[in-house]
Structure 1
């Protein structure tokens, strides 16, 4: 009877031991299981450093590369207008004809004066030769010979004067045709046939504007220019002189101009009223799409930044101080906050200069379900779970 009582008692002791051991292991497993269940799935983007070309948009105005106001250089009556308003004209093309009659008469008079001067030279030369021979035999006085020499020299001077007068008359006759000094598009005419015009009058007869190529005058703040120069001198930015001169243009409607321009020069002085520096770019304009006075925006290349970190904007927020912040996945798979320093936006991303490094896992999805220090399960943002979105 005693054996039968001991056997059940042993079984009971062993069962209690197993239950005790199981009871000791259960809390740790439960905690591990609970921790795993509490890890919130989030979508992350793994950041990678890269070299990027930094650009800057600047406001600008279109201006003509050349403008010529057409004015007469002689007095007279306009006989004919020789162009169609709004048409393309070439350099040297006649635009107006001023009555040439008086200038043709001046040319004829000057030619006659030349003939007379040449005849006078022949006469005085022959006389000088005779006096030279007579002087040797004392048939004429030294004074008579000297007067013959002076007459010959005077005749040659008269010829030079007549030739100069002919040249002036021919220039005035040429000026009776008012010509275009440049290639371009001519505007409306301010005078008609029969109008009296005067040399160098203040009112222009018309205006010729060269539209191809065309200029775009840009403005950049002096502070931005100083910052850019400091970044280049410190080595934070590198510059390719060929790339730096390339300019792209955005039109008033937001479209991109199909032709690429070239940066020609930058002013060396700052406008004291605006605190800005002027830059000029030149663009081809064969379609005449760009017109003087148009407002545009130009994109210029500032330089190349090596080892740049670009972070999606949707993963960046701001704290109560206005500082940009981000949440990343730490090595322990928990949420780690970062305070950032950003430079600018590039497309849909921020250029981060401090706070994020190569290899960081930036949380971009599931941000509303996590807090600092909370366990998370990182998954690529493009394939993250619906619960993380």
Structure 2
């Protein structure tokens, strides 16, 4: 019995010693530090801007109407093509106008003959009155006849000039250079002066973009702006990532009291960028000059109540808590006004899996700014057109 008791005690003691050994071994095996992405803080030139939506407009748009009435004889252009100022577009039957011109020319010749006769009789009357061979009353009658002949000649000359203008207006020409639309009236139809719309022409050298800036934004960000300085703006079209440079060339002289906004206009080179009037566009206008700030990924920023912070990596590869002041956001990145300097290492993915005081194994990565715009870039494309338009 005693022998069995001693045996059980020995087995129990061995099990206890074995368990203690395993526990000590487990305590000695610490997990390796977590591997996280780390990047060096970079400095970039950044600026703040505001974006406004609008539709583009042509500086010149003409709804072409005839200046004389008549039957449309022919159309001398191809719909949708570019036309030059003074180019023949429509022809109204000129025969009635040509006939009127010839008739008035004949009347003018008759009036000039009557005037010549009246002038001769008036001169003879003056000589006869001087010799007391004609009464003053008769001389006055001849002088009145002369004045009537002058007036009649002048009236017919004016009618002839108008008839010649009507004949000229029967050939309808382009009042501006630009792109012409389709013909709204076809050959053989009767058109009325000042009433029938023949077609539409829009200028195509430049396009305007009108947009409204609310009073608070204007007073805070743009109060010192002057249209004479040609402030740079950028245009973004639908489904296009390529910005188009333009300039502000007009600022209205008063704030609209109904909407509380100020009307601003920017001008762009239409031909260089194939811009069409009526197209939807976003206009970006810089609110400040560029300045250099630290840039970090938006996901690297954590929130601690009202504070914003990032996790920096010290020389011992330990994460440290760092308060930062945020600037503007630029795509996937955020400008930092204060709290970071160039070259400091930060946890790229922020505090999602880690926290301050944790040791890490850094995996160095680099920021990719290729598709991120930090400032409104200027271009020299069509600068002559834009400068002249801004003036």
Is the shorter-chain TM-score for this pair beyond 0.5, marking a shared fold? yes
Give, in angstroms, the shift of residue 68 of structure 1.
1.0
Q: State the number of aligned residues.
A: 333
Tell me what 2:346 maps to.
363
Tell me what 2:328 maps to.
344
Tell me what 2:189 maps to.
195
Aligned with residue 57 of structure 1, among 51, 60, 76: 51
2:141 match: secondary structure: helix
Deviations 1:226-271 (A, max 9, x none): 22036x69xxxxx9975x62233222113315x5322222334555
* Structure-2-length-normalised TM-score: 0.72
Tell me what 1:147 maps to.
141
In 1, distance between residues paired with 2:51 and 2:91? Answer: 48
Residue 266 to residue 380, structure 1, CA distance change in 2 (3 Å): farther
> Within the alignment, does 1:209 sit opposite 2:193 as a pair?
no
Runs of 4+ deviating beyond 6 Å: 329-334, 375-380
1:92 match: secondary structure: coil
Residue 370 to residue 78, structure 1, CA distance change in 2 (3 Å): closer
Q: Are the counterparts in 1 of residues 324 and 340 from structure 2 also a CA contact under 8 Å?
A: no
Residue 366 to residue 347, structure 1, CA distance change in 2 (3 Å): closer
Deviations 1:170-228 (A, max 9, x none): 11111111222111121111222211111111x41111122222223334443332220
Tell me what 1:33 maps to.
none
Deviations 1:151-181 (A, max 9, x none): 2222222222111111111111111112221
Q: Are the counterparts in 1 of residues 64 and 198 from structure 2 also a CA contact under 8 Å?
A: yes
1:214 match: secondary structure: strand
Residue 381 to residue 54, structure 1, CA distance change in 2 (3 Å): farther
In 1, distance between residues paired with 2:37 and 2:87? Answer: 74
Once structures 1 and 2 are overlaid, which stretch shifts more, 344-353 or 164-173? Answer: 344-353
Residue 195 to residue 115, structure 1, CA distance change in 2 (3 Å): same
In 2, distance between residues paired with 1:241 and 1:307? Answer: 28
> Within the alignment, does 1:111 sit opposite 2:94 as a pair?
no
Tell me what 2:310 maps to.
326
Residue 218 to residue 308, structure 1, CA distance change in 2 (3 Å): same
Tell me what 2:269 maps to.
284
Residue 181 to residue 288, structure 1, CA distance change in 2 (3 Å): farther
> Within the alignment, does 1:76 sit opposite 2:59 as a pair?
no
Tell me what 2:283 maps to.
298
Give, in angstroms, the shift of residue 133 of structure 1.
1.1
Tell me what 2:169 maps to.
175
In 2, distance between residues paired with 1:246 and 1:140? Answer: 85
Give, in angstroms, the shift of residue 292 of structure 1.
2.3
Of the two, which has the highest radius of gyration?
A: 1
> Within the alignment, does 1:256 sit opposite 2:237 as a pair?
no
Q: Are the counterparts in 2 of residues 328 and 338 from structure 1 also a CA contact under 8 Å?
A: no
Residue 371 to residue 317, structure 1, CA distance change in 2 (3 Å): closer
Tell me what 1:19 maps to.
none
Residue 305 to residue 357, structure 1, CA distance change in 2 (3 Å): farther
Give, in angstroms, the shift of residue 57 of structure 1.
3.2
Residue 80 to residue 382, structure 1, CA distance change in 2 (3 Å): closer
> Within the alignment, does 1:126 sit opposite 2:126 as a pair?
no
Deviations 1:294-320 (A, max 9, x none): 222233333215464544423322334
Gaps of 5+ in 1: 1-36, 234-238, 384-389
**Cα RMSD for the two superposed structures:** 3.6
In 2, distance between residues paired with 1:215 and 1:240? Answer: 14
Residue 309 to residue 180, structure 1, CA distance change in 2 (3 Å): same
